[in-house]
Structure 1
Amino acid sequence: MTDHTHPVPHAVARLRADRLARSTKPFLARGGPKGARCGGCRLPTSHCLCAWQPRVPTQAGICLLMADTEPLKPSNTGWLVADVVPDTAAFGWARTATDPGLAALLADPQWQPLVVFPQEYAAPERVVQQLPSPADDDRTPARRPLFILLDGTWAEARKMFRKTPLLDALPVLHLQPDQISAYRLRRSRRNDHFCTSEVASLCLQLAGEHHAAAVLDAWLDVFTHHYLQARHQLPADLQGPAHQQLRAAVAACAAA
């Protein structure tokens, strides 16, 4: 776990800074905590999380394709994925243009990209439910899984899936979780919709990175606790269940 108070900006933080620089008017988040915010975790400085941010090396990578205003939202959980998983890339999405960095990442031979999306929206021949098996030829290095997550509202995610030509030839990974979402900061009409951090955790579990998935789940719980306590103007409980779970998950990861 990091012991500093201002983490080095990661991919989502850089995307947010770029998006703010291009804004012609301030972004006003609805319903979130008010007041001066920490630049490292987006929460009010009174509820800053930065001192507890975990960082877990993983074989798998995450690529976030983010709807236009998603990096600006205080409740966005793609930010939490980038906090925890070092190999997290983030790109803004626009229908009329594609970031050349995305094409370069998808063409990198070390990665096996998979678009994480429900199978009913893809042609059957593209759908997979497990990670591809390593090549039989031992001389060919196994490619690292790169999970592509479409970060936005459900309507935005469907649009990104349909209108991003770079994704059209990639396998579509259909997840089959056995639980419902526990995310409490935004409402969804469907229990089978998960926040971005939860989807990333499911992907890490599928890749066999169970300790990293547990740390990411615990980090989401700590973020949610601090966020809601700030909203209600109550102090964060640093000895409560969320922080205890995070400490245990980080310790288990370090011992593995």
Structure 2
Amino acid sequence: MKIILLTHQRERDRKTNTGQLVLDVLGSAANLVIWDRVNPDRALLSLIEQTAVGLLFPHSETNEMGEVSVPSRNVCIDENNKAALAGYEYLIIIDATWQEARKIYNRSAYLHSLAKVSLSDSMKSCFQLRRNQIEGGLCTAECVGLLLTYSGQARFAEQLRDKWESFNQIGGNITV
């Protein structure tokens, strides 16, 4: 599984961006694509058409009884169903603030057709450099760390966790 960080242009310049940590640890197993509302990346569009691509994004919905349901094309990953990650060759992660991520999703019709992959909300964010804008919202590095753990890539998960903890403790903007 490879990671595609669909990154808002403003996010690249923020000293609190954790996507750079992901790129540093994963090397060629992660790609950065700058999001453009008017001119979507052609290579990304082609990849979506030709390959098994999922979008890491919350997708829970509530039925009329108030129960959370997961639509059939979507999956919530946790320790019990981590094998479902094997069905995706690529996972797109919107690397932006939660508010910007929602806007990117809403303004990018090509993302709407993708199966949504979400992470169990049992982990709480430890990110101290920004306020998380949604309950249980994790930063990019935390999400990728969980994905690496669930996909059996413990060495990369540990490397990312170590870099992220240093980054989080010193206030961001470390040299990677």
**Matches of residues 26-45 of structure 1 in structure 2 within 5 Å?**
none
Larger C-alpha radius of gyration, 1 or 2? Answer: 1
Query: Is structure 2 residue 103 aligned with structure 1 residue 159?
Result: yes
CA offset at residue 162 of structure 1?
2.1
| Correspondence 1:63 to 2:32 | no
Q: Equivalent residue for 2:23?
A: 82
Aligned residues: 161
Give matches, 1:125-204, under 5 Å. 125-130=72-77, 131-132=83-84, 145-204=89-148
Alpha-carbon shift at residue 228 of structure 1 (Å): 6.3
The change in CA–CA distance for 1:132 and 1:73 in structure 2 (over 3 A counts) is same
1:236 aligned residue: none
Task: Please give the per-residue CA displacement for 1:52-86, whole angstroms capped at 9, x wherever unaligned.
Answer: xxxxxxxx211011112111111100000000012
Corresponding residue for 2:151? Answer: 207
d(CA) in 2 for partners of 1:91 and 1:215? Answer: 23
SS at match of 1:204: helix
Q: Work out which structure has the larger RCO, using CA pairs closer than 8 Å and 6 or more positions apart in sequence.
A: 2
Q: Does 1:94 align with 2:36?
A: yes
- Greater percentage in strand: 2
Q: Secondary structure at the match of 1:73?
A: coil
Paired-residue identity, %: 28
Give the root-mean-square deviation of aligned CA atoms.
Answer: 2.6
Equivalent AA in structure 2 for residue 70 of structure 1: E
- Structure 2 residues not aligned, in runs of 5+: 62-68, 78-82
> How far 1:129 moved relative to its partner?
2.3
Structure-1 separation of matches of 2:8 and 2:70: 24
Q: Distance in 2 between matches of 1:204 and 1:157?
A: 21
Quote the Cα distance in structure 1 between the aligned partners of 2:106 and 2:136: 20
Counterpart residue identity of residue 157, structure 2: A
Paired letter, 1:126: R
- For residues 101 and 13 of structure 2, the distance between their equivalents in structure 1, rounded to whole angstroms, comes to 17
- 1:114 paired residue number: 54
Relative to structure 1, is the Cα distance of residues 175 and 226 closer, same or farther in structure 2, using a 3 angstrom cutoff? same
Aligned partner of 1:129: which letter? C
Cα distance in 2, alignment partners of residues 129 and 88 from structure 1:
22
Contact 1:127 1:172 in 2 (8 A): yes
2:128–2:168 contact (8 Å) kept in structure 1: yes
In the superposition, the TM-score normalised over structure 1's length comes to 0.56
Aligned to 1:8: none
Aligned residues of 1:127 and 1:173 also touching (Cα < 8 A): yes
TM-score normalised to structure 2 length: 0.78
Q: 1:140: which partner in 2?
A: none
Instruction: Supply the distance in 2 between the matched residues of 1:101 and 1:81 (Cα, whole angstroms).
Output: 21
Q: Structure 1 residues 74 and 165 mapped into 2: Cα distance closer, same or farther (>3 Å)?
A: same
Note if contact 1:147-1:203 (Cα within 8 Å) is conserved in structure 2: no
CA distance in 2, matches of 1:190, 1:154: 7
User: Is residue 73 from structure 1 mapped to residue 14 from structure 2 by the alignment?
Assistant: yes
Query: What CA distance in whole angstroms lies between the structure 1 residues aligned with 2:135 and 2:159?
Result: 23
